[in-house]
Structure 1
Amino acid sequence: MIINKILNVDDYYFDVFMSISESLTGFSVNELQSTGLAEIYYKHILGQIEAATFTEFLNISKNILENSYTQDQLNNAIAAEIFANASTEDIANSIITLWYLGTWEGAYVNDLSYKEGLVWNVMHSHPPGAKQPGYKSWGVKPVNSNI
Structure 2
Amino acid sequence: MSTDAFVTFSAEVTGFTEFDLHGTGQARSYYDTVVKVVGRQNLDDLLHRYFDEVTELLDEQKRAKQLDESVFDDPRLGAVAKNVIKLWYSGTWFDLSPEWTATYGIPGTEGTFTASPQAYAQGLLWFAVGTSPPGARAPGYGSWADPPRIPELPASPVPRSLQR
TM-score with structure 1 setting the length: 0.82
- Asked if residue 125 in structure 1 is aligned to residue 131 in structure 2, the reply is yes
Give the corresponding residue for 2:85: 96
Which of the pair has the greater relative contact order for Cα pairs under 8 Å at 6+ separation? 2
Whole-angstrom distance in 1 between the partners of 2:136 and 2:68: 35
Following superposition, the deviation at residue 26 of structure 1 comes to 0.5
- Asked if residue 113 in structure 1 is aligned to residue 102 in structure 2, the reply is no
Give the corresponding residue for 2:142: 136
What is the identity, as a one-letter code, of the residue corresponding to 1:34?
Answer: G
Whole-angstrom distance in 1 between the partners of 2:45 and 2:145: 50
What is the identity, as a one-letter code, of the residue corresponding to 1:117?
Answer: G
Report if the CA contact (8 A) 1:13-1:58 is conserved: no
What is the identity, as a one-letter code, of the residue corresponding to 1:127?
Answer: P
Whole-angstrom distance in 1 between the partners of 2:11 and 2:41: 22
Give the corresponding residue for 1:9: none
- Asked if residue 72 in structure 1 is aligned to residue 56 in structure 2, the reply is no
Give the 3-state SS of the residue equivalent to 2:19 in structure 1.
helix
What is the identity, as a one-letter code, of the residue corresponding to 1:50?
Answer: G
Give the corresponding residue for 1:6: none
Aligned length: 133
Identity rate, percent? 27
Q: Structure 1 unaligned runs (5+)?
A: 1-11
Following superposition, the deviation at residue 139 of structure 1 comes to 4.3
Whole-angstrom distance in 1 between the partners of 2:148 and 2:44: 43
Whole-angstrom distance in 2 between the partners of 1:41 and 1:117: 11
Give the 3-state SS of the residue equivalent to 2:11 in structure 1.
helix
Give the 3-state SS of the residue equivalent to 2:72 in structure 1.
coil
Q: Structure 1 residues 42 and 141 mapped into 2: Cα distance closer, same or farther (>3 Å)?
A: closer
TM-score with structure 2 setting the length: 0.74
Q: Structure 1 residues 55 and 141 mapped into 2: Cα distance closer, same or farther (>3 Å)?
A: closer
Q: Structure 2 unaligned runs (5+)?
A: 95-111, 151-164
Report if the CA contact (8 A) 1:20-1:65 is conserved: no
